[in-house]
Amino acid sequence: MTWALLPLGLAAAIPASLRFLRVAQREHYIAGSSMRFAIRWWADTGLGNLALVLLGVAGLAGSPWWDWLAILPVAAGALGPLGLGLRGTTSPLRWTSRLRRLAFVACLLVLVVAVAGVASGNAAVAGAVSAFLMPLLVDLALAVATPLEASLGKRWIEQAKSKLASIGPRVLAITGSYGKTTTKEYARLLLTGDFQTVVSPASFNNAMGLARTINEHLTPGTQVFVAEMGTYGPGEIAALCSWIPPEVAVITAIGPVHLERFGSLERTLQAKSEIVAEARVAVLNTDDERLAELADRLAGELQVIRCSATDLSADVCVREEAGRQEVWIGGSIVTALDPPLAFATNVACAIGAALAFGFDQNSIGSSLARAGRPAHRQTLSQSEIGFTIIDDTYNSNPAGAAAGLKLLGELGSDSRRVLVTPGMVELGADQVKANAVMAARAAEVATDVLIVGRTNRRALLSGAAGGAASVIVVDSRSQAVEWVRTHLGRGDVVLYENDLPDHYP
């Protein structure tokens, strides 16, 4: 029995590894992510997974004394967590070079476990560990592979650094807890009229993504490079700015997005503000009190452009007024945007950045006249049967959710109004409260609230409990979409607020 359980465990490790390699890939190859998601799936996805994990734990604990018990964790590792697919649909496993290297390291670790088990006379335990503790092995593989990946990436970064220096474009760098992509898109529209501009694609906001953008898209004659910069902690943006030095730096907002990784908003501010350290101009959304304080601290060190959606005395103010957006610069109105664009503070920051490059303020209206809302950020469409769809699936922050609900109320004032949401994630200790607050507001605005999945189900149910809206719980977005198609008709409105990939429960 002992020797049979080792090959069984190694065979079970194959589906287990596919599940958690996919999680690692979707979570940006951060060590610890596989175990974090394993705990979520095992603990909060129904009695089936709870029973399976308890059997697995009991079997793993007892297998050193009764080797036949190893069959329990082997089976649990092969079968579960139930619901976490091997390849995925909304977040499919992609066999990139990096994932293949990670899989190779994980295989080596499994081999080490197997050899250690045989050498110690605990082959059954080795089989159980290989299958049931695969998320831990994947996290160990991530930790081992990180220095290798950094070494491999250094060549591409050095190439990008050299190319950037040789072409010499002016650099606009944009960061923030949210609003980076929207601000970047509007800045692109403003700058491309006067400058040959290259912009980093939507998700290329880390070192390797920006290096790839520079190496593949920067050409002689490029005058402005617009770089979106993301971060999960202090030091990352400073490292980016060391080889992509920005002339103009924008911070759109400081909020609880990725708070479980940052730990606090103060730490978030510290990480984001690295972008202005060597810049000539800082463009800041001073409706955010933390950025207003930063603007005051920076005022004597560099040029600061304060941007707002309410303060007409700010350097740039984009104010919602009578169904349009008025653009105020230096206390005077210069144009109006009709129809209004998404998120007035993001528009203001984009205008502020363009002005820092010498953009003619009289051209703002014409440059943004044909601008729409960035994809999946409160974009509007009509279904075949006539109900309005608000696609806000790329927003996962309290401010964006509040704006989406406001739009739902405005567009569906005399009709059926439906919110479809899995809630917001990566908000750390604030996640439960933030989702409950959003659901409570939704229960006032919407006629129906559809809660998707289990990740935030309890918090959303709690928040919506006191409202008048009908609350429906579904397991997947496809079920929610089918409910919407069945129950909505002409004149109704549905808001899809955030959309979690299927490696979330």
Query: Cα(505)–Cα(303) distance, rounded to whole angstroms?
Result: 46
The enclosing H or E element of 351 equals helix 344-356
Task: Establish whether the linkage from the previous residue to 220 is cis, with ω within 30° of 0.
Answer: no
Q: Where are the domains of the chain?
A: 2-149, 168-368, 379-497
Q: Could you tell me whether strands 324-329 and 493-497 are parallel, antiparallel, or unpaired per DSSP bridges?
A: unpaired
The DSSP secondary structure of 236-265, one letter per residue, reads HHHHHHHHS--SEEEE----STTHHHH-SH
Beta carbons within 8 Å of 135's beta carbon, 6+ residues apart: 16, 20, 23, 34, 35, 37, 38
**Which residue type sits at 231?**
T
Query: Cα(316)–Cα(194) distance, rounded to whole angstroms?
Result: 20
Classify domain 379-497 at the CATH class level. Answer: alpha beta
The helix/strand/coil state of 457 is helix
Residue with tokens 């933390």: 290
pLDDT tens for each residue of the chain, 505 residues long: 567 888 999 999 999 999 999 999 999 899 999 999 999 999 888 899 999 999 999 999 999 999 889 999 999 999 999 999 888 888 889 999 999 999 999 999 999 999 999 999 899 999 999 999 999 999 999 999 999 998 999 999 999 999 999 999 999 999 998 889 899 999 999 999 889 999 998 778 999 999 999 999 999 999 999 999 998 888 999 999 999 999 999 999 998 776 666 778 888 899 999 999 999 999 999 999 999 999 999 998 999 999 999 999 999 999 988 888 999 999 999 999 988 888 899 999 999 999 999 999 989 988 888 777 777 778 889 998 999 999 998 877 888 899 899 999 988 777 899 999 999 998 888 899 999 999 999 999 999 999 999 999 999 999 999 888 999 999 999 999 999 999 999 999 999 999 999 999 9
Read off the DSSP letter of residue 336: E
Q: How many whole angstroms from its chain centre is CA 273?
A: 19
- The pTM score is 0.86
Query: Cα(253)–Cα(54) distance, rounded to whole angstroms?
Result: 43
Q: For 168-368, which CATH superfamily applies?
A: Mur-like, catalytic domain (3.40.1190.10)
